Amino acid sequence: MSTVPTPTGIPLPPASGAWREGDPPGRRLWYEHAAPLPLEAGGELPGVRLAYETWGRLAPDRSNAVLVLHALTGDSHVAGPAGPGHPGPGWWDGLVGAGRALDTRRWFVVAPNVLGGCQGSTGPASPAPDGRRWGSRFPFLTQRDQVAAEAHLADALGIGRWALVVGGSMGGMRALEWAVSRPERTGALLLLATGAAASAEQLAWANAQLHAVRDDPHWQGGDYHDAGPGRGPHTGLGLARRIAHLTYRSEPELRDRFGRTPQGAEDPWRGGRYQVESYLDHHAAKLVRRFDAGSYVALTEAMNSHDIGRGRGGTRSALSRVTARTLVAGIDSDRLYPPYQQAELAAGIPAARFRTIRSPYGHDGFLVEVEQVAALVRELLEGAAAGD
């Protein structure tokens, strides 16, 4: 048994070594890579550890494995069960389980916490080989480095080829990277609310968020982890989340849901807040409690680096490498990753079809509209069964 280091101080259930046949579903495990991981930007990262969870059983011929890749502040806990040793319901609970689209009687579902993250995988808050936290010394990571680490995990699990790789937003970037860099290992592909490269607008929103964190005096160049309780760049991380959360939702949703209504008895003319301000404060505080600012910066920079065509002759040439049966879905109200970006992917990937998720919830629609995502998963997996 080994305890997962938690940058925020919130206890996580212990990780417990590599997966073994008969492990209960949703148990947090970890994989440690023996050799240092060579990095795209140069140098290497030693002591790489990926936390992950699994559901279902790996078939004897290992043909039923599905890889689920989370978004920026997600984690490996895709689905429950809740209970002792489990962190409660997952962020895609409606998708994974007996009788659900990723039916655990049929599929073996694997979800790693991304490299650079803070939910058990190696990130800036983790100890470096010298025993001190990585902090500012944590190297620059790209999506390709993160997928390379995930490929080592797949090797360790004996999974040569995923029946399906699925991800939304940042998870979609990594899913795409899997399909382009390792087409022989990616049987089917579901890309949600993602793009071929970080766009100018996405880089611009990220810039404001990176400034919010790094301009917080408690950031200390990234070396705040041992400054003591409550002394991290919480204000900056909260501000970054407020900015980001607005880009994740839609203007009509905010209008219809909150309008100009004051929060409870608060009076906005006398220092009080409107409901929508209270809502943003809530999401800021919630993220600060569960997420590390250093990881937020590392992962945001990794997303900024996303450009599937880099070093591959451009986007068109890179996308043409994909052999997976592919669905690419956009959300009609997504202002951060507008549907034209998914249409571009669908046009460039040889065996891809484009789908629209209808939702008032903007970019977060891929997390909220679980039934529509489930229908897409079913469409892809039923296609697999039919040899389509």
Ligand X SMILES: CC(=O)SCCNC(=O)CCNC(=O)[C@H](O)C(C)(C)COP(=O)(O)OP(=O)(O)OC[C@H]1O[C@@H](n2cnc3c(N)ncnc32)[C@H](O)[C@@H]1OP(=O)(O)O
Ligand Y SMILES: N[C@@H](CCO)C(=O)O
The least distance separating ligand Y from the CB of residue 291, rounded to whole angstroms, comes to 9
Of 65 and 287, the one with the shorter C-beta distance to ligand Y is: 287
Whether 108 and 66 have beta carbons less than 8 Å apart is answered as yes
Residues that bind ligand X (CB under 6 A): 70-71, 73-75, 91, 263, 275, 278-279, 282, 286, 290, 361, 364, 367-368
Between strands 49-55 and 29-32, the pairing is antiparallel
Q: How far is Cα 181 from Cα 177, in angstroms, rounded to an integer? A: 6
From the annotation, which residues make up the binding site for substrate? 241, 364
Of 20 and 260, the one with the shorter C-beta distance to ligand X is: 260
Q: How far is Cα 332 from Cα 196, in angstroms, rounded to an integer? A: 18
**Does residue 172 interact with ligand Y by CB under 6 A?**
no
**Out of ligand X, ligand Y, none, which partner does residue 102 contact, by CB within 5 to 8 A per kind?**
none
Annotated catalytic residue 363? yes
Contacts to ligand Y from residues 338-377, by CB under 6 A = 363-364
State the DSSP string of 311-350. Answer: TTTSHHHHHTT--SEEEEEEETT-SSS-HHHHHHHHHHST
Which residue from 72, 96, 163, 240 is in contact with ligand Y, where contact means CB under 6 A? 72
Which residue from 71, 197, 322, 376 is in contact with ligand Y, where contact means CB under 6 A? 71
**Out of ligand X, ligand Y, none, which partner does residue 6 contact, by CB within 5 to 8 A per kind?**
none
φ/ψ (deg, to 5) at 69: -115, 125
The least distance separating ligand Y from the CB of residue 280, rounded to whole angstroms, comes to 13
**Does residue 186 interact with ligand Y by CB under 6 A?**
no
The least distance separating ligand Y from the CB of residue 363, rounded to whole angstroms, comes to 6
β partners of residue 353: 327
Is 298 in a helix, a strand, or coil?
helix
Residue whose C-beta lies closest to ligand X: 74
**Out of ligand X, ligand Y, none, which partner does residue 279 contact, by CB within 5 to 8 A per kind?**
ligand X
Whether 281 and 234 have beta carbons less than 8 Å apart is answered as no
**Out of ligand X, ligand Y, none, which partner does residue 169 contact, by CB within 5 to 8 A per kind?**
ligand Y
- Which of 126, 169, 250, 295 is catalytic? The answer is 169
User: Which is nearest to 307 in space by CA: 202, 208, 204, 213?
Assistant: 202
Of 178 and 248, the one with the shorter C-beta distance to ligand Y is: 248
Q: Could you list the active site residues?
A: 169, 334, 363
